[in-house]
Amino acid sequence: MNQTSSEHLYPQFERMLSRQQREERLGQRSHVFWLYGLSGSGKSTLAIALEKALFAQGKFAQVLDGDNIRTGLNSNLGFSDEDRLENIRRIAHVAKLYADSGVITIASFITPREELRELARGIVGAEDFSDIYVKASFETCAERDPKGLYAKVKAGQVKQFTGKDSGFEEPTTPDLLIDTEAESVEQSLQRLMDYACMRIAS
């Protein structure tokens, strides 16, 4: 008999500490900030900088980064459309768990399609979710190439690469747009920090 059917599951959420109790203990309001964009656009740089800036203010934040997750929790996934969806589904549930624990969560994932962003928003919950588009052109990201990925793509060593073999859908109405081609890291971080502080204000 298959014991994984939902009819055999008995969630115990109502018996656990509430989110409000956890937030009160941590002295903060939790939220999920979902940064997305092409590889090399500046997502991870801004996510880590935001985490440190919030930490300096006495906040408890946690970065969930695409490369880190893919070497652990999602190491069995590739880059097909189905695997990309499952990658986002899993991490969105992790982000929701963090938010329910009172933790300010900063996710940094390419999230190339609108349906994936809506999936993440739906899992986390619209009130707890901010989608932040970190924008930079494919050409600029290729020039930056912080991980050497674009050089490998050019050499034909990487397939299904977002922006080349696999498309990236630009959002029409992100909660926040940060154009890293048009402003410095410091300017981008300040705008991100201002937005974050507004969303986590009690």
Residues 8-21: tens digit of each pLDDT: 665 555 667 888 88
Give the residue with greater pLDDT, 106 vs 5: 106
pLDDT over 60 at 4, yes or no: no
Burial readout 128-145 (b: 16 or more C-beta within 10 A, e: otherwise) = bbbbbbbbbebeebbeee
Q: Give 170 or 148, the one with higher predicted confidence.
A: 170
Q: What is the pLDDT of residues 187-196, one digit of tens each?
A: 999 999 999 9
Cα-based angle 29, 37, 43 (whole degrees, multiple of 5)? 55
CA separation for the pair 156, 129 (Å, rounded)? 37
Task: Name the strand (E) or helix (H) holding 199.
Answer: helix 185-200
pLDDT attached to residue 147: 76
Closest among 132, 129, 122 to 47, alpha carbons compared: 132
Q: What confidence tens digit (pLDDT) does each residue in 97-135 have?
A: 999 999 999 999 999 999 999 999 999 999 999 999 999
For residues 51 and 146, the model is more confident at 51
Tokens representing 132 are: 């932040």
Sequence-ordered alpha helix ranges (H) in 101-184 = 114-124, 138-144, 149-154
The mean pLDDT of 150-167, rounded to a whole number, is 67
Each residue of 80-104: pLDDT tens digit? Answer: 889 889 999 999 999 999 999 999 9
68 has pLDDT over 90: no
Q: Where are the domains of the chain?
A: 26-200
pLDDT for 1: 37
How much is the pLDDT for 77? 86
Q: Name which of 131, 144, 109, 114 is nearest 178 in CA terms.
A: 131
Task: Specify the higher pLDDT residue, 34 or 7.
Answer: 34
Q: pTM here?
A: 0.85
Q: Is the pLDDT of residue 6 over 70?
A: no
| Residues sharing a CB contact under 8 Å with residue 178, sequence separation 6 or more, in sequence order | 42, 46, 132, 133, 134, 135, 188, 191, 192
User: pLDDT value at position 14?
Assistant: 65
91 with 129: CB under 8 angstroms?
no
Q: 35-64, pLDDT tens digit by residue? A: 999 988 999 999 999 999 999 999 999 999
Residues in the chain: 202
Q: b or e along 185-194 (b: 16 or more beta carbons within 10 Å of the residue's beta carbon)?
A: eeebbebbbe
The domain 26-200 having CATH identifier 3.40.50.300: the answer here is yes
The pair of structure tokens assigned to 97 is: 């768990």
pLDDT mean across residues, the chain: 87
